[in-house]
Amino acid sequence: MTPEKSSDFVAYLRAHLDANAFVEGANVNPASVSDGTRVSGFLPSLLLRPRNAADLSLILQTATKLRQSVVIQGGLTGLAGGARPRHGEVAVSLERMRGMSAVNVAEGTIEVEAGVPLQAVQEAAQAAGFMFGVDLGARGSASIGGMIATNAGGIRVLRYGMMRDQVAGLEGVLADGTVIDSMLGLPKDNAGYDLRQLLVGSEGTLGVVTRAKLRLRPAPKSERAALLSLGSVDDAIKLLVFLRERIGDLLAAFEIIFPDVYAGTIAHMGIVPPLPPGAGLYVLTDIQGQTPDADLERFQAALGDAVEIGLCSDAILSSSGREFETLWAIRDGVSDCVYAQGQSYGFDIGVPLNAINRFLKLAADRVSAIDPTARAFIFGHLGDGNLHYIVETEEGADIAKAVLTAVAEAGGTITAEHGIGTDKRDWLHLCRSEAELAVMGRLKRALDPAGILNPERVISTSAAYGNKTLLP
């Protein structure tokens, strides 16, 4: 931001916003330079903290008028570099937007502002006898606005869907300051275009989510988790199909952990392994239901039959809430273990179940050819085809090309839940056609003609606007 632009921008806003909306110079928290990737961007000279949609509308309207680019920040837990500031950008944090309604019991909904952490929604839902369908490890910091903007996934997509499926209503602000109020949240509403879904997953490039009406589900009366040892990925896929047939909607999660990751996580946590290391693969699965005795009986019977017919070699089933949490703590601890290793590069990919083995072989061969000493750590949400493929290597750029092209050749996506941001923008063409990319550019130009809103995220400015000069 040039001094002249900075002076005009701040002077105008200072006349309309409260003093707590401004954080400048040395007072800007250094934590604002990065996100969950821990890769540093530029420390912004100005961070703005609007209280509500009206404040944000004024900020974006002024930014558009002065051609001042802004980066929108929530809980800074993203893993694609989308909230990482670029040189000259003003940061806009939604941390002061913490309003939350009481649970609407009749509708099974709750209204929250963008800065509310996921955990607060979960706790409010639980207190009213409900649950929220999305869960992830960063629940204490991840904000609802950011989760909607990135269409967050997590461990229960198999049962409840992505963040998109939890949004009944939405309020957002466009780059020119226009406030969109689509908060009706009716189960049936076919009145024109669904503008909510335009903003969900747009990563703050088309508009900024400020408030949402979220769908809640009745809290489960039964929860049981099981850790199983298997021989291979093929066995895990067969087990997934088997459990879907046997227990249907009771199945709430189906996670896989490769053997070296399982052994490493157990050692990193310093706990006694629930199942011995050395199996070909480990699966953590669980159920959620409303009839505890009947649910347990069905789950036990299905697991017993799975062992008997050879789909898994061993299984341990939680018998209490504490054991349930202990088993899930292993899955939650995987990331800490993996990222405690050497220099590594993470890939959040989605692959059709029938192409996972093809991807794994392609990726392993190509990674080994580039760096024979590289180690791959693999785990993830097999129930929806989402793998986290982490490679310990010093050859980051070449490894990225190898892994992501292997994903594309296997018919997958380069990001299943983390989004594109800046880090994967240049690889988007691997899983989106030229026609799709062109439509994305047209949407960006239509809703942000000055190109000020999260520029260079998802699609490049040149791709969206051609050679037109937008930002000084």
CATH number for the domain spanning 40: value is: 3.30.43.10
CA within 13 Å, CB half, 175? 25
pLDDT at 6: 64
- The answer as to whether 457 is a domain residue is no
48 DSSP β-pair partners = 22, 92
Do both 229 and 317 map to the same domain? yes
Do both 252 and 214 map to the same domain? no
CA–CA separation, 79 and 289 (whole Å) = 32
Picking from 120, 172, 173, 115, the residue whose alpha carbon sits closest to that of residue 144 is: 115
For residue 320, the domain's CATH number is: 3.30.70.2190
18's torsion region: left (phi>0), alpha (psi -120 to 50) or beta? Answer: beta
pLDDT at 88: 95
257 DSSP β-pair partners = 282, 379
Do both 406 and 424 map to the same domain? yes
CA–CA separation, 50 and 317 (whole Å) = 48
Pull the structure tokens for residue 303: 């697991």
Do both 126 and 149 map to the same domain? yes
DSSP 220: P
Do both 214 and 228 map to the same domain? no
- The answer as to whether 48 is a domain residue is yes
Task: Say how many domains are in the chain.
Answer: 4
Note the residue count of the chain. Answer: 472
Residue whose token pair is 């190509």? 366
- The answer as to whether 444 is a domain residue is no
**Domain termination residue (choose one: 164, 185, 218):** 218
pLDDT at 472: 47
State the pTM of this model.
0.94
For 384, the 3-state DSSP assignment is helix
Pull the structure tokens for residue 212: 């949402």
DSSP 76: S
Structural domain boundaries enclosing 296:
222-331
Do both 245 and 188 map to the same domain? no
377 DSSP β-pair partners = 390
Do both 347 and 377 map to the same domain? yes
pLDDT at 2: 53
- The answer as to whether 471 is a domain residue is no
Contacts of 190 (CB under 8 A, 6+ apart): none
**Domain termination residue (choose one: 168, 202, 218):** 218
Task: State residue 192 phi and psi, 5-degree precision.
Answer: 80, -165
Contact 98, 124 (CB under 8 A): no
Picking from 447, 448, 446, 451, the residue whose alpha carbon sits closest to that of residue 462 is: 451
Q: How far is CA 65 from the centre of its chain?
A: 32
pLDDT at 395: 94
Do both 363 and 414 map to the same domain? yes
For residue 188, the domain's CATH number is: 3.30.465.10
Do both 209 and 232 map to the same domain? no
Do both 49 and 32 map to the same domain? yes
- The answer as to whether 462 is a domain residue is no
CA–CA separation, 82 and 91 (whole Å) = 12
- The answer as to whether 467 is a domain residue is no
DSSP 274: S
Instruction: List alpha helices for 342-433, DSSP H.
Output: 356-370, 396-409
Do both 213 and 228 map to the same domain? no
pLDDT at 200: 98
- The answer as to whether 122 is a domain residue is yes
Residue whose token pair is 């989004």? 419
Contact 188, 31 (CB under 8 A): no
pLDDT at 469: 58
**Domain termination residue (choose one: 277, 311, 331):** 331
Tens digits of pLDDT across the chain (472 residues): 454 566 789 999 999 999 999 999 999 999 999 999 889 999 999 999 999 999 999 999 999 999 999 999 999 999 999 999 999 999 999 999 999 999 999 999 999 999 999 999 999 999 999 999 999 989 999 999 999 999 999 999 999 999 999 999 999 999 999 999 999 999 999 999 999 999 999 999 999 999 999 999 999 999 999 999 999 999 999 999 999 999 999 999 999 999 999 999 999 999 999 999 999 999 999 999 999 999 999 999 999 999 999 999 999 999 999 999 999 999 999 989 998 888 999 999 999 999 999 999 999 999 999 999 999 999 999 999 999 999 999 999 999 999 999 999 999 999 999 999 999 999 999 999 999 999 999 999 999 999 999 999 999 999 999 866 565 4
251 DSSP β-pair partners = 287
- The answer as to whether 463 is a domain residue is no
CA–CA separation, 73 and 92 (whole Å) = 6
pLDDT at 420: 98
217-218 vs 46-48, strand pairing mode: unpaired
pLDDT at 81: 96
Do both 414 and 355 map to the same domain? yes
